[in-house]
Chains A and B, each alone.
Chain A
Amino acid sequence: MKNLSDEELMILVSNGNLDMMSILFERYHIRIFNFIVKMTRDKEVSQDITQEVFYKAIKYRTSYKNGKFSSWIYTIARNIFSDHYQRQKSSAQRLDDITYKTESQTEDNIDKIETNEQLHKALNQLSKSDRELVVMSRYQGIKYQEIAEITNSTTGAVKTKVHRAIHKLKDHYLQNI
């Protein structure tokens, strides 16, 4: 079973063989978790969201339609993160919340190395959509074409947007040094 492709496994899942989801979980949960960690900077929340991604993948298994599995699962992850982000935004004053978050995070144990902190700070200065593009393209190594599938856009547009986001990140990063 371990030799099957992601897509073959997911088709089995959508036909009712739920056990196959464990193999997909093994293959993907660390990547999805790291994607969300970069977006939220919060380990606890990221674990909850990752759990929800696989829960939704099982719940809505019949909506999987033979496309690339990784695009499908990332689309789910984005939607759940987006809901979470909206909830958080409406529950607290946005600006205050964000500054509080970054401060508490740097004090936190996550990263102690200085460059990492500068990089996180720069990442945090990007808009949500720019940050997402940088994370998907550079941290997760997802190809432009697949990002276009996930974000419902065209490859050309994704490429220019990613470039632009990286240049912004660079500007912020160098400014912080």
Chain B
Amino acid sequence: MNCKQIEDQLIEYIDGNLDDKTSQLIESHISRCENCKKALMELQEVFTAIKNEPQQLPDESLKLDFETMLQKEKELQDDSKVVSLSRVSRNTWKTPLQIAATIALMFSAYYFGTLQNNESLSQEMAVLRKEKTQMKEAMTISLIENESASKRLQAVNYAEEFEKPGNEILKALITKMHYDDHINVRLAAAEALAKFSDNEMVRKALIDALDMELDPSMQIELIQILVSIEEKRAVPSMEKLLQNEETPNYVRDQVKIGLPNLI
């Protein structure tokens, strides 16, 4: 096994979910490989931190409220008249609603009058808003090339927030999805792109990604996205995955689940 495969198995190794043979393989690899040893220790550190976190207890009032609620439900069960009562109480809303409607009418008349004054203001606002979006886009693009993987991840998450991202943003995301060294960045980019799947360029890029991608978790993500956007052109790539002997079984399963939805 190489380091990548070892890293994928570390969590199950810590949890003791692997068979003896695989465990031993990992153990002997770790004794020789500093990087994997470090990765193991880091994971253990996180797990210890999680384990050491105390469970919180709710206030006593939660239990009391539950018992009150239970009593009420039991009474409801015995007594069907309560249903008619609640209908009466619904009617009592009528008067306040009528008053509220009157007030709303008065206010809307007033605001209609002031509307003309506001028009120039709203134009100015539109310009400002556009500038803000442009700035955000520029910032995202510069952040996306950052050396730190978590900064890039952050940038990808920003990009996801745009309602209609420009082509430049989309292209940057596609490059990240195809070529970023870090699996989490690639995954996040794919997730973000899935939201913009109306765009033809994005759809093509997703198909290409499935063709190139070697990491199983990324493959699964891509298969799910392509199935959900009903991209029929991805069928050949998926069939190729099925035929490839190196494809792990759980990826095959995912293809088998998804493929019927496309054909």
Contact = CB atoms under 8 A, between A and B. Distances in A.
Interface of A: 16, 18-19, 21-22, 25, 29-30, 33-34, 37, 43, 46-47, 50-51, 54-55, 58-59, 110-111, 115-116, 118-119, 127, 138-139, 154, 156-157, 159-164, 166-175
Interface of B: 8, 11, 42-43, 45-47, 49-50, 52-53, 55-59, 61-63, 65-67, 69-70, 73-74, 77, 148-150, 153, 157, 183-184, 187, 216-217, 220, 224, 249-250, 253-254, 257
A53 to B, nearest CB: 10
Nearest to A110: B56
A87 B52 CA distance: 33
A53 B37 CA distance: 43
Contact of A51 (B62, B153, B249, B250): B62
Given A46-B58, A138-B47, A54 B69 contact: yes
A50 B64 CA distance: 13
Contact of B187 (A54, A164, A172): A164
A11 to B, nearest CB: 17
A172 B69 CA distance: 41
A156 B250 CA distance: 6
Contact of B254 (A29, A157, A163): A157
Contact of A171 (B47, B184, B253): B184
Q: Count chain B CB atoms within 10 A of each CB in A18, A43, A167 and give the residue with the most.
A: A167
8 smallest CB-CB distances across A and B, nearest first, come from A156-B250, A160-B217, A33-B58, A119-B49, A170-B46, A47-B62, A115-B49, A138-B50
B184 A167 contact: yes
B11 A18 contact: no
B50 A47 contact: no
Given A34-B55, A127-B157, A156-B254, 20 more contacts: A18-B77, A21-B70, A22-B66, A22-B67, A25-B66, A33-B56, A33-B58, A50-B58, A55-B69, A110-B56, A119-B49, A138-B50, A154-B253, A159-B250, A164-B187, A166-B46, A171-B184, A173-B46, A174-B42, A175-B150
A90 B206 CA distance: 30
B220 A157 contact: yes
A118 B50 CA distance: 11
Contacts of B65: 51
A30 B54 CA distance: 12
Q: Count chain A CB atoms within 10 A of each CB in B45, B53, B184 and give the residue with the most.
A: B53
Given A115-B52, A167-B184, A47 B250 contact: no
A166 B43 contact: yes
A160 B62 contact: no
Give the dominant DSSP class at A's interface.
helix
A21 B66 CA distance: 10
Give the dominant DSSP class at B's interface.
helix
A169 to B, nearest CB: 6
Nearest to B219: A160
A116 B62 contact: no
Nearest to B53: A116
B11 A166 contact: yes
A169 B216 CA distance: 20
Nearest to A123: B50
A29 B254 CA distance: 35
A55 to B, nearest CB: 6
Contact of A29 (B61, B66, B77, B148): B66
B162 to A, nearest CB: 13
B53 A30 contact: no
Contacts of B150: 171-172, 175
A96 to B, nearest CB: 13
Given A166-B43, A173-B49, A174-B42, A154 B62 contact: no
